[in-house]
Amino acid sequence: MPAPRKPAAPRKPTTRPAAARRSKPVVSAPERDEPEFLDADLDASFEDEVSGAPLRKASANAGERLQKLLAQCGLGGRREMEEWIAAGRVQVNGEPAVLGQRVLPGDRVKVNGRLVNLHGATRAPQVLLYHKPEGEIVSRSDPAGRPNVFTNLPRVRGGKWIAVGRLDFNTSGLLLFTTSGALANALMHPRHEMIREYAVRVLGPMDDEAKDQLKKGVELEDGPAALKSIEDAGGEGANQWYRVTITEGRNREVRRLFEAVGRTVSRLIRVRYGPFLLPPRLKRGQSLLVEDADVEKLVKSLGADAEGPSRNVGQKVRGARPGGRPAPRGRAQARSQGKGAAPKRSSPRPAAKKPL
């Protein structure tokens, strides 16, 4: 007869550390209509809240100025962005923006209620040459319904074309566009004295006295103005051509200068703006994209005025705290995420002592 089985001993309850018993918090996925760079910042703020680590406060000089950042995104010029901010069309983290406000990585910026992708501000700028024909206005909106130059431009992804200066409705020739508000402002600023060269057809010849007067300067409604140079360029009969240069971009400046000395301009063509010449093969209504290497040289020649925001604005940084540096991560965690090992220590580990 088999021996009776002994009852099984009761299992002892296993004790686990508090950290192991704690359930891992579940973070809901961000909405799909938000830019990718916001994902890491939302997760980082949640980690700080769980761990009890205090949020780092940004210094007054941290981040980039809002109007500069919006202009660099290609939404318009810096002055136009300042007008938008003053009109209450811009919000930062759900609050109305103010002039001079600085934006940090992870801040949510909305224009007219729509989220702005700040990552576009760090893209390399593009420059476009356009041969403007007569009869086009340099504006996206016109109460008279006249054709505008923007309808002939190629589409640009993640931004829009910003006109560098303007040409009159009846003026043709070279017109520059760029996707960078900072670069557009630098090209137009009087401090850089960008040469504008025009081919001018005048009714009737001009004597030396009139030419000298134009070079010395005349008084216009908005202040004194002068030509930097004027040269004969031929012509027949009453139509005489001249090549002139100026370093300003005031409204109808060339036409008003000739009118001040009693001459009427019958045709005006811009053939140069700064380092760019109107290519002979570029027909009216056509555009030409400038090579990236030439754009980079142009930005360097103009200095800090043409440079956009720093590359850390709007970038996706995993584990970054808003207003602070990226949170550290372990080497094992980095390998498991496929990101590569974390940076090595700046100071070498102490050498192990040899056994005696």
Q: Which residues pair with 198 in a beta bridge?
A: 244, 270
Structure tokens at 98: 């103010």
Q: How many CB atoms lie within 10 A of CB 299?
A: 21
Helices (H) and strands (E) in the chain, counts: 9, 17
Buried b / exposed e across 164-203, counting CB within 10 Å, b at 16+?
A: bbbbebebbbbbbbbbbbbbbbbbbeeeeebebbbbbbbe
Q: Count the neighbouring beta carbons within 10 Å of the beta carbon of residue 82.
A: 20
Two tokens at 223?
């202040």
Q: Position of tokens 């010029």?
A: 77
Q: How many other CB atoms sit within 10 Å of the CB of residue 29?
A: 7
Asked if 322 contacts 41 with a C-beta cutoff of 8 angstroms, the reply is yes
CA dihedral 179, 180, 181, 185 (to 10 degrees): -110
Q: Encoding tokens for residue 48?
A: 């700080």
Report d(CA 136, CA 132) in Å as an integer.
7
Active site residue 168: yes
Residues 6+ apart with CB under 8 A from 116: 70, 73, 75, 109, 110
Catalytic residue from among 168, 208, 222, 232: 168
For 147, phi then psi, to 5°, come to -65, 145
How far is residue 230's CA from residue 224's CA, in Å, rounded to a whole number?
A: 17
Q: CA-to-CA distance for 136 and 159, rounded, in angstroms?
A: 22
> What span, in angstroms and rounded, lies between the C-alpha atoms of 248 and 213?
18
The two beta strands, 223-225 and 229-236, are: unpaired
Catalytic residues: 168
